[in-house]
């Protein structure tokens, strides 16, 4: 792997993390709007589905160490691995599409 690809993976991983945090923040924000004033349950369910797709590899990785005795840093480590996996997938897709255009 060359350095340019690794930088691209890191940037896509950071972009993924920002999108993931934004979706979680919107879910939090919309869930605190009173349903009597504005019913946003459809938006919350839509964002919940998007969050479920974005967090896809994480539940699989979490099954590697099941139970209540998992270390405290496991969630942070899994989030970093999840971001890097998505960054690798997105950078690989961008590289593949760039080669296909040529």
pLDDT at 9 (0 to 100): 95
How far apart CA 35 and CA 51 sit, in angstroms, is 22
Q: What is the pLDDT along the chain (102 residues), one digit of tens a residue?
A: 689 999 999 999 999 999 999 999 999 999 999 888 888 899 999 999 999 998 887 777 777 777 666 777 878 888 899 899 999 999 999 999 999 988
CA-based nearest residue to 18, from 93, 86, 88, 99? 86
Tokens 């005795």 belong to residue: 69
How far apart CA 60 and CA 78 sit, in angstroms, is 10
Alpha helices in the chain (DSSP H): 3-31, 41-54, 57-62, 74-101
pLDDT at 57 (0 to 100): 76
pLDDT at 1 (0 to 100): 67
pLDDT at 35 (0 to 100): 85
CA-based nearest residue to 9, from 96, 91, 98? 91
């Amino acid at each position: 792997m060359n350095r340019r690809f690794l930088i691209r993976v890191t940037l896509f991983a950071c972009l993924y993390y920002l999108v993931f945090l934004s979706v979680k923040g919107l879910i939090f924000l919309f869930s605190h709007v009173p349903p009597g004033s504005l019913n946003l349950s459809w938006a919350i369910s839509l964002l919940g589905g998007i969050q479920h797709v974005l967090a896809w590899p994480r539940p699989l990785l979490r099954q590697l160490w099941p139970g209540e005795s998992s270390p405290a840093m496991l969630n942070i480590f899994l989030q970093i691995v999840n971001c890097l996996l998505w960054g690798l997938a997105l950078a690989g897709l961008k590289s593949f599409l760039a080669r296909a255009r040529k």
